[in-house]
Chain A
């Protein structure tokens, strides 16, 4: 397995509270991604990073922010959680942009429930 650790694995939070999910990699890959997976929508990209302090938005970025202060860590923050953000969140890494030349490797996800 690629060295990707997501924490926490499960979290229940209340509407309006801030939440931070962490992704830690030991592969020294340049590119890191946050996806969410929902029934009927598949995997959708939230934000991605192409280097330390270099990030960009994906297709469903509203309500989310990210930070990457070290190569190995990529944080996803929900500033004020809403019920629509109840989902399973996956972190992924790749050696090249978009995973087009080398595949994405995924962590085992964080199941987030917003009540």
Chain B
């Protein structure tokens, strides 16, 4: 059964304190690994797609990386506006749906 697990569940950082969020996946034939950001009361907002091990994508203070079993979302020198829940999801070969992790709730204190 396809499965996605995110850790930690919650992370509190000081402004400027870099860290990483983890997404471990078990899917049959990864087709795409997706990262989303979700703010309270809003729907998830797409950030990145990664397709193959070794691939990296960057956007402002965020960088997503992918291995054969995990993806990491690195946050460099975060700001309070980076506070949100970050979700990852995996799509498998031939599947008509994504499998989502439960998310990491990130809080950046000023």
Which A residues fall within an 8 A CB radius of B?
4, 33, 40-45, 48, 50, 56, 58-59, 90, 92, 97-101, 103-109
With contacts defined as CB atoms under 8 Å apart, how many contacts are there between chain A and chain B in the complex? Answer: 65
Q: Which of B59-67, B76-84, B100-108 faces chain A?
A: B100-108
**Residues of chain A contacted by B97 (CB below 8 angstroms):** 33, 45, 48, 58-59, 98
Question: Is the beta-carbon distance between A103 and B34 smaller than 8 angstroms?
Answer: yes
A74 to chain B, nearest CB (A): 15
**Residues of chain B contacted by A4 (CB below 8 angstroms):** 43
Question: Is the beta-carbon distance between B95 and A100 smaller than 8 angstroms?
Answer: yes
**Can you name 26 A-B pairs with beta carbons within 8 Å?**
A33-B97, A40-B102, A41-B102, A42-B103, A43-B87, A43-B89, A43-B100, A45-B98, A48-B97, A98-B91, A99-B32, A99-B34, A99-B89, A99-B91, A99-B98, A100-B31, A100-B95, A101-B32, A103-B34, A104-B46, A104-B98, A105-B46, A106-B44, A106-B45, A108-B42, A109-B42
B42-53 vs A: 1/0 string, CB under 8 Å? 111110010000
**Residues of chain A contacted by B44 (CB below 8 angstroms):** 43, 90, 104, 106
A76 to chain B, nearest CB (A): 15
Say yes or no: is B110 at the interface (Cβ < 8 Å to chain A): no
Say yes or no: is B41 at the interface (Cβ < 8 Å to chain A): yes
Q: From known contacts A40-B102, A99-B32, A104-B98, infer whether A90 and B43 are also in contact, taking CB-CB under 8 Å.
A: yes
Q: How far is the CA of A105 from the CA of B102 in the complex (A)?
A: 18
| Residue among A50, A58, A98 with the highest chain B CB neighbour number at 10 A | A98
Interface size on B, residues (CB 8 A): 23
Q: How far is the CA of A104 from the CA of B43 in the complex (A)?
A: 11
**Residues of chain A contacted by B31 (CB below 8 angstroms):** 98, 100-101
Q: How far is the CA of A44 from the CA of B99 in the complex (A)?
A: 8
Residue of B nearest to A92 (CB): B43
Question: Is the beta-carbon distance between B91 and A100 smaller than 8 angstroms?
Answer: yes
Question: Is the beta-carbon distance between A106 and B43 smaller than 8 angstroms?
Answer: yes
Which residue in B43, B92, B95, B98 is a CB contact (below 8 Å) of A108? B43
Q: How far is the CA of A103 from the CA of B34 in the complex (A)?
A: 7
